[in-house]
Amino acid sequence: MKFVAAVIVILVVVAVVVGPQALFVLDENRVAIVTRFGEVLRSENKPGLKVKTPFVDSVTYFEKRLLLFDAPPSSLLTKDKKRLIIDVYARGKIIDPRLFREKVRTEEQAISRGVDIIASELRREIASDNQAEIITTQREPIMGRVLENVRPKLLEFGIEIIDVRIKRADFPAEIAQSVYARMQAERKRKADRERAQGAEVDAEIRSDVDRQATIIRALAERDANITRGCGEAQSIKIFAVALERDPEFYTFQRSLEAYGTFLNKNSTVILPVGGIGQLFEDIRQGLIEGSRLPDEVSDGAEPAPELVPVSRGSRCAEVAAHRAISELLNTDLTEIDLVEVAPEEWADSSLGCPEEDRIYRDIKVPGFNLKFQYAAQTYELHTDQHGSQVVHCES
C-alpha cells in the first residue's frame, strides 16, 4: 500500500511539473509555431489543446486577426510641386507563421517594416499626380495602386495586405490659410455672379410686369372713358326723347334741378321782391333754349341713330365685346386682338346667334359684327349698337 501511494504521489508531482511543459492551449485569435533549439518544427493554426516535448520545445504565438499598419502623417510632394499632409493606414494578416518568424520575428518589427514599405509606395504614387486630382478624383485609384504594389512585398514576410486607405489629405499649415482664402474668394465670386444674375432677372421681370400694368391701366382707362361716353350718349338720347314728348315738363324738371344746384341752404341771394319770379322765368327760358333739339330732330324724326355717332357706338360695342371675350377665354385683354368690325342689322333680338328652344322678339336691331383673334383662333361676337347686348356665335 505504501508503494502504491508513493507511486501516486510521484505521478502527481510529475504531472504538476511536466504537464505545463508538455501541453499548451491555442485559442482562435492566435497562431503558433513550435521550435526546438531555435529550429521550427511545425506551425499550429487550429485552436485547441496541443502537445509538445517538455523542456525542449518552445511555442511562439502570433496574432491571427488583422494587423493595423498605421503610418504617421507625412508631408509629400505632388507632381505639380505642391505639398500635402497624407495620413494612411493598412490592414493585413499573418498567413505564413514560419516565414513571418524567419523574416521579422515579432509583430512590432513587422508593423514597422510594413509602414515603411507603405509610406514609400504612397510617396511614389503621390509624386505622379497633381494636388487637385489627389484631393478630388484620384484618391481611390491611388489607394488601389498602393495596395497592388505593397501586397507582393509584404507577402515576402508572410503577411497578406487586405486594404490600404488614406485617412486624410490636408494642406500644410503654412499654406492652408491661403488655400482656404482662395476657396472663399472663389465661392464669393460665384455667389456674387449668381446674385447679379438674379438681380438682372428680377429687374427684367419687374420691368415687364410694370409695362404690363401700365398697359392694363391705360386700356382700363380707355375702356372706362368709352363706357362713360356711351352712357352719356344714352343719357342724351333719353333726355332728347323725353323733351320731344313733353317739353314743358322737361324744362320744369331741369329748372328744379338748377334751383337745387345754386340755391342750397348756405346760399344767399339779394334781389328785389318783384325780380324773383322774373329770375326763375329767365332760368327756365334759358334751359329751354339750351335743351332745344336741332331742326332735323325736332320735326318728329326718330332721334336715336343721329344722336349717337356711329364711331362712338362702334367703340362702345368694341369695349363690351372685348371685355366679354376676355372673360370667356379667361385671359388678359392685351392678349386678344380685334381684327374686324362691321355694322350689321339683326333680324331679331338674338343678334344673329339664336339658341334652341328660346323665343326672341321679332324686331330689327342695329349693331356690329366683331371678330377677335387669340392663340391663332378667331372668335366672332355680335352686339347691339351700344354694346349693351353681346353674344358669342360659336362656329
Whether the pLDDT of residue 69 is over 50: the answer is: yes
106: DSSP letter: S
Structure confidence at residue 129 (pLDDT): 86
Q: Could you tell me what percent of the chain has a pLDDT over 90? A: 22
pLDDT level of residue 265 (50, 70, 90 thresholds): low
Whether the pLDDT of residue 380 is over 60: the answer is: yes
Contact 372, 361 (CB under 8 A): no
Whether the pLDDT of residue 197 is over 90: the answer is: yes
Q: Comparing C-alpha atoms, which of 112, 90, 119 is closest to residue 157?
A: 112
Whether the pLDDT of residue 162 is over 50: the answer is: yes
- In this prediction, residues 85-96 reach a mean pLDDT of 91
Q: What are phi and psi of 394, to 5 degrees?
A: -80, 135
Q: Which residues pair with 367 in a beta bridge?
A: 344, 384
Question: Can you tell me which residue has the cell 317739353?
Answer: 247
How many angstroms separate the Cα of 212 from the Cα of each of 140, 146, 200? Answer: 57, 66, 18
CA distance 141 to 126: 11
Whether the pLDDT of residue 212 is over 90: the answer is: no
Which triple of cell numbers denotes residue 180? Answer: 482656404
Helix/strand/coil percentages in the chain, nearest 5: 50, 25, 25
Structure confidence at residue 300 (pLDDT): 43
Exposure string of 374-394, with b = 16+ CB inside 10 Å and e = fewer, is eeeeebbbbbbbbbebbbeee
Q: Which residues pair with 373 in a beta bridge?
A: 337, 378
Whether the pLDDT of residue 305 is over 50: the answer is: no
Q: Comparing C-alpha atoms, which of 306, 263, 259 is closest to residue 287?
A: 259
pLDDT level of residue 311 (50, 70, 90 thresholds): very low
CA distance 87 to 143: 12
pLDDT level of residue 159 (50, 70, 90 thresholds): very high
Structure confidence at residue 146 (pLDDT): 92
Pick the more confident residue, 69 or 260: 69
